[in-house]
Chains A and B, each alone.
Chain A
Amino acid sequence: MFELDGATISRMLTSMTLLFHAIFATVGVGVPVMVSIAEFIGIKKKDPHYTLLARRWTRGYTITVAVGVVTGTAIGLQLSLIWPSFMQLAGNVIALPLFMETFAFFFEAIFLGIYLYTWDRFKNPIYHWLLSIPVVIGGTLSAFFITTVNSFMNQPQGFEMENGTVTSIDPLAAMFNPATPTKVFHVISSSYLTSAAILAGIAAIFILWKKGSTYHKKALKLTVTFTFLFAILTAVAGDLSAKFLAEYQPEKLAAGEWHFETEEGADLIVFGTLNENNEVENAIRIPNALSFLAYGDFNAEVEGLEETPVDEQPPLWIHYMFDLMVSIGFYLLGISLLFLVFWKVKKWNENNRLLLTGIALAGPLSMLAVEFGWVYAEVGRQPWILRGFMTVTEGATTSPYVGWMFLLFLALYIVLGTGCIVVLRKMFKDNPAELELERLFPQVAATKEDDQS
């Protein structure tokens, strides 16, 4: 592997760190929202099932948040260590959102600590619930600020370049670049969606394998409902993102859609393969749909990849990433809708095995969709690290030791990933929800017969 050049290894190392971090960051943004909702319902309905749900989710969350924090710190430092020239330039322009992201993170860290250790400290439970609000705000704001940094890399503005040095810097213009609204919307909605889908998946697995109790059935209904709501939101965000790409980053859309020639009424290509002459085979073609996706008009002209110079074209395999992400998105929307319909129609059983298996799959699939989406977004702006200003090769470190660092971090992520799974398993295996309900709320567990149902 050491025959690869430094820039390639730098890219591999950064991809690995980001893909690993994305798992924990996504959960980190979304789960507090679900926790807060569950705790609120628990208080309003005076139903300890929901309170317990919030408690148990939080406990698992502390483990994932720990890995999220340490890998996030790793990225923060790695940016300067692996991309020193890029950070020297970008530091001038996007230091503001980076700095504000740490404030949001600080805010979240403080209140998460307080939230975790004050479950039984207040007479009125609403005070404890109020502490979850800053955690939610902090997590979502972190996502917001850091996504503006990524948007800037896609759509740099707010500075001028004169002989290799930057001048006339406008920090707010750099932060609120054209890519920011759609990117932020898409990242936040998909994080909420993924977290809801994962929690739904866990509830479904419990009911499938262990004939889960009322507690698990309530969890399932709550999480699937929110999976559906967030899936709609994410679909809207995705559609807006496609329209953004068509206007500002046509080469990414064109490479993602295998749209080579500029034409009006462009077809949307779903799946398929490329032969050696770069001709599309085995694909489903939806007539004029790409024009509609890009401009909301079936006959609009969509710019093809041929307009982009060959050495500035992104690789064509990102098409698969795009298709997989979108397919999973629609799968999540469909399966959650199906569950809601089965639930509302009285004679149908929403807990049938097929439906539950479908929901169980939705959890891991949604996380895969997040990863595919990020790969599409990031590889889709190759060869640029700062689109139009700096290529990835120019930004990378010249140190000869990146290869070794790749191995070091690979080992680290294997250890962290394994540790995380082992600890989470241990945490919940020896302490099923029914036992905990009895311990924490003995009066409820004793009077309610519903746990046998």
Chain B
Amino acid sequence: MSYELIGITVLWFFLYGYLIVASIDFGAGFFAYYARVTKKDHIINQLISRYLSPVWEVTNVFFVFFFVGLVGFFPDTAYYYGQSLLIPGSIAIVLLAIRGSFYAFESYGSKDNAVYMFFYGATGLLIPASLSTALTISEGGFIEETANGVQLLYGELLTSPYSWSVVFLALVSVLYISAMFLTYYADRAGDKPALELVRKYALFWSSPTIIASLTTFIALSQQNLDHFQRALELWWVFGISVAFFMVAVFLIYIGRYYGLAFIAVMLQFLFAFFGYGASHLPYILRPYITLTSGVTHESMAIALIVAFIAGLCLLIPSLILLMRMFLFDAEYVKGKK
């Protein structure tokens, strides 16, 4: 395996990790606000904050990790994405900043502030929408290089059916993943009322998720036929993803094995995400950066891979410790510690 392929695989894994942990967080923010509006906040807010408080910072790091790693392995992305994404990128930073700090202010400082809750819920939907721009423009056709540097074509972006279907997919899958996770967590906590509520959310958001996946696929064929055809060659990967989707929804529907159901959700997105990523290659940003043209020098790539392996040796045991203490410690989840 060449080092640029190792590099992009590693980065893709981190983006996938971010997709899962951030979706739980973003969706939880929305559900917390929604529950407040519908006067059901007493049922699930305790549950959400018990999970989120110890892990919100870790969520953020997955994202930092991805973009720092991307610039490291593929320095050209800094130039093209940096030039073109100034506005959507800055808006995403501001939203992330408001969200992260307000979460801390809320949970460690003043309790139960309606304004905080609103921002927390709203940013949970706006952030996935603004971040998905970066994936959209990677398909090509949204930026142009002129003598004055690289420009993002806002008109193209805002009128493209593909870009809107990506935004829609991002939104519904955030809510779906989050509800699926909360269902599992509520079950662990033995919290019946919360379980009933989030289980309904999970079932509700499952159908838009699968519909949005299909529409995005169709829109892709309009936007970038090459990519669409490479995706069709990997049809079996997407098939496995759909199979896991059905397993997850079935388990939630019959109301048993919530842990397995969430693992099925993770596998559903793992296959879909890697299928999407693999068919995207060899382009990273079409047509300016390919896997081989944009890669950093060999010595740096090797140094990064070594650092990455050393870092994982440190991180994996720490993450396991974190999960054992707050995710899989039944006493903690139930609120007894």
Contact = CB atoms under 8 A, between A and B. Distances in A.
Given A66-B100, A87-B71, A88-B79, A106 B58 contact: yes
B64 A95 contact: no
Given A70-B97, A111-B318, A419-B105, A102 B86 contact: no
A193 to B, nearest CB: 25
Contacts of A72: 64
A76 B300 contact: no
A92 B96 CA distance: 27
Given A103-B314, A399-B149, A73 B93 contact: yes
Interface stretch (A164-172, A261-269, A382-390, A432-440): A164-172
B81 to A, nearest CB: 7
B120 to A, nearest CB: 13
Nearest to B71: A91
Contacts, number: 227
Given A113-B322, A169-B297, A409 B58 contact: no
Contacts of A114: 54, 321-322, 325-326
Given A80-B82, A109-B57, A426-B110, A409 B72 contact: no
A83 B58 CA distance: 27
Interface stretch (B37-45, B203-211, B301-309): B301-309
A397 B74 CA distance: 18
Contacts of A106: 58, 61, 65, 311, 315
B105 A63 contact: yes
B108 A427 contact: yes
B334 to A, nearest CB: 14
Contacts of B89: 77, 80-81
Contacts of A105: 61, 64
A302 interface: no
B145 to A, nearest CB: 11
Contacts of A399: 83, 86-87, 149, 151
B155 interface: no
A241 to B, nearest CB: 27
Interface string A335-368: 0000000000000000000000000000000000
A118 B321 CA distance: 12
B307 A103 contact: yes
B82 to A, nearest CB: 3
Interface in A88-141: 88-93, 95-96, 98-103, 105-107, 109-114, 116-118, 120-121, 134
Given A69-B57, A419-B105, A76 B68 contact: yes
Contacts of A77: 67, 89, 92-93
Contacts of B96: 70, 73-74
A397 B100 contact: no
A351 B261 CA distance: 63
B311 A87 contact: no
A99 B68 contact: yes
A341 to B, nearest CB: 38
Given A73-B63, A73-B64, A409-B90, A93 B300 contact: yes
Contact of A88 (B58, B64, B76): B76
A392 interface: no
A169 B299 contact: yes
A397 B102 CA distance: 30
A265 B110 CA distance: 60
B337 interface: yes
Most buried by A among B71, B79, B94: B71
Given A96-B307, A419-B101, A107 B318 contact: yes
A427 B98 CA distance: 19
Contacts of B314: 103, 107
Nearest to B73: A95
B53 interface: yes
Given A102-B61, A114-B322, A423-B109, A171 B98 contact: no
Given A98-B72, A103-B314, A85 B300 contact: no
Contact of B297 (A87, A92, A107): A92
Given A87-B79, A96-B304, A118 B296 contact: no
B110 A405 contact: no
A132 to B, nearest CB: 14
B141 interface: no
B147 to A, nearest CB: 10
A71 B91 CA distance: 13
A76 B64 contact: yes
B82 A397 contact: yes
A414 interface: no
Given A88-B78, A96-B72, A402-B86, A117 B54 contact: yes
Given A69-B100, A83-B82, A110 B319 contact: yes
A95 B61 contact: no
B133 to A, nearest CB: 13
A419 B102 contact: yes
Given A77-B89, A96-B307, A110-B322, A62 B94 contact: no
By CB atoms of chain B within 10 A, which of A103, A114, A120, A121 has the most? A103
Contacts of A409: 90, 94
B104 interface: yes
Contacts of B81: 80, 84
A113 B58 contact: yes
Nearest to A75: B93
Contacts of A83: 82
Contact of B318 (A66, A110, A408): A110
B67 A170 contact: no
B101 A66 contact: yes
Interface in A387-421: 397-399, 401-402, 404-405, 408-409, 412, 415-416, 419-420
B35 to A, nearest CB: 23
B60 A109 contact: yes
Contacts of B71: 80, 87, 91, 95, 98
A66 B99 CA distance: 10
A211 interface: no
A172 B97 contact: no
Given A80-B81, A83-B82, A102-B68, 6 more contacts: A69-B60, A82-B82, A84-B150, A91-B74, A93-B300, A120-B337
21 contacts: A73-B100, A80-B77, A80-B89, A81-B85, A87-B71, A88-B79, A106-B58, A109-B61, A110-B322, A113-B55, A113-B58, A114-B54, A118-B325, A169-B296, A169-B300, A170-B299, A399-B87, A412-B94, A415-B98, A420-B101, A426-B110
Interface of B: 53-55, 57-58, 60-61, 63-65, 67-69, 71-83, 85-87, 89-94, 96-98, 100-105, 108-110, 148-151, 296-297, 299-300, 303-304, 307-308, 311, 314-315, 318-319, 321-322, 325-326, 337
9 closest cross-chain pairs (CB), A and B: A95-B72, A91-B75, A84-B82, A66-B104, A423-B109, A87-B78, A398-B149, A113-B54, A80-B82
